[in-house]
Amino acid sequence: MYDHLTLISGRAHPLLAQDIANYLGVPLAHVDVVDFPDGETSVRLNQNIRGRDVYLIQPTGPPANQNLMELLILIDTCMRASASRITAVLPYFGYARQDRKDAGRVPITSKLVANLITGAGANRVLTIDLHAAQIQGFFDLPVDHLFAAPILDLYFKSLEIPQEEMVIVSPDEGSIKRALQHQEHLGGSLVIVDKRRSSATEVRQANLIGGPIAGKTALIFDDMISTGGSIVGAVNVARQHGAKKVYVGAAHGLFCGPAVERLSHAEIDEIVVTDSLPQTAARKLANLKVVSVAPLLGEAIRRIHRNESVSRLFD
């Protein structure tokens, strides 16, 4: 059914890779990835991939440097083993937030990472919810940029929240477009948290634009949850304005630093993220719900392999 297709998993997220393999009905390739005593990564591919269409599944989330280097070595391994086409499947693209010069003498690291992936020998990139869509232009190769919003929306629809009680909350002005897209699919009204920075490292949310929200169910959407500061701030504002229930949805759950502690103490009914990253750090969160992107990525891989349109999956 899938002639000449090979799936390879790095060590970043083998569970998701296996779920994608199960969706496609294709076994994962046998590859040994180990670390030498000095920390260097060694890869050995234990099967022939000459002339094959290879998909390397490796999110470059924490630890970002290790996972990125491992991805580059895997790409080089496949290139030197004469793969016909190499697609880097990045459920989460690390360094995406360093996408511009916002101060003097700083790098644009997401462009550097794009160059590294291209230079290593990748022919195509498949990813989900880039922090900024224009990062696609950093790559000198085709990029299929998918979105987790339909998967999140499908779950929230299953909760059967009445339209008149639903409020879609944008945690800051930069997330308004995302909130509008969720509102289009879910309905309800829209409010925006007025996010103000009190220092270089501190963000405070004070005001709510739109409403009313009192006595209603608030759905707060963001592209990722990192340290949890912005999300918890938005949750607090929603509660202060009388929200009856608060749900949080995000494509990527990084849960770095104080995130788990912050979210544990916040008045959140449920936190919904995808499995674009392994959720080891967030296991302590009793209100965490993980929805799978394996069918989305598996279907994209199927269509790319068959040279079919992937456009429908962008919606």
Continuous segment of H or E residues that includes residue 94 = none
Q: Is the pLDDT of residue 88 over 70?
A: yes
Verify that 13 and 142 share a domain, yes or no: yes
Task: Please tell me whether residues 180 and 256 are part of one structural domain.
Answer: yes
The pLDDT score that the predictor gives to residue 195 is 65
With 60 as the cut, is the pLDDT of residue 203 above it? no
Residue 199 has pLDDT above 80, yes or no: no
Is 196 in the same domain as 308?
A: no
- Do 203 and 287 belong to one domain? yes
Beta strands in the chain (DSSP E): 5-9, 31-35, 41-45, 53-57, 85-90, 124-128, 143-146, 166-170, 189-197, 203-210, 217-225, 245-253, 270-274, 288-291
Residue 2 reports pLDDT greater than 50: yes
Distance CA 238, CA 244 (A): 9
Task: Report the pLDDT value the prediction gives residue 309, as an integer from 0 to 100.
Answer: 93
Entry pTM = 0.94
The rounded distance, in Å, linking the Cα atoms of 288 and 211 is 27
- Indicate whether 211 pLDDT > 70: yes
Looking at the fold, whether 204 and 226 belong to one and the same domain comes out as yes
The yes-or-no verdict on residue 186 having pLDDT over 90 is yes
Q: Could you tell me if 140 and 222 lie in one domain?
A: no
Domains in the chain, number? 2
In the numeric block, the tokens 């009856």 are attached to 244
Q: Which residue in 144, 166, 151, 152 sits closest to 221, CA to CA?
A: 152
Are 136 and 225 part of one and the same domain? Answer: no
Q: Which of 119-133, 154-168, 277-291 has the lowest mean pLDDT?
A: 277-291
Please say if the pLDDT value at position 301 is more than 80. yes
Q: Which of 195, 216, 244, 245 is catalytic?
A: 195
Q: What is the mean pLDDT of the chain?
A: 93
Out of 169-178, 222-231, 275-284, give the one with best mean pLDDT: 222-231
CATH of the domain at 25: 3.40.50.2020
Question: What's the CA angle centered on 59, arms 223 and 225, to 5 degrees?
Answer: 25
Whether residue 115 is found in the same domain as residue 166: no
Contacts of 99 (CB under 8 A, 6+ apart): 108, 110, 111, 131, 132, 134, 135, 138
Here the tokens at position 78 are: 């496949």
Q: Is the confidence at residue 1, as pLDDT, over 80? A: no
At 261-273, the pLDDT tens digits run 999 999 999 999 9
Q: Sheet holding 5-9: strands in order across?
A: 5-9, 53-57, 85-90, 124-128, 143-146
With a cut of 60, say whether residue 102 has pLDDT above it. yes
Annotated catalytic residue 195: yes
CA distances (Å), 58 to each of 34, 125, 208, 216, 315, in order?
15, 11, 38, 39, 23
Tell me the mean pLDDT in the region 105-132: 97
Binned at pLDDT 50, 70 and 90, residue 58 comes out as very high
Residues 230 and 253 in one domain: yes
**pLDDT for residue 179:** 94
Q: Which residue range(s) make up the domain with 51?
A: 5-147+294-314
Asked if 161 and 262 sit in the same domain, the reply is yes
Percent of the chain beyond pLDDT 90?
86
Q: Which 8-state DSSP code applies to residue 39?
A: S
DSSP 3-state of 275: coil
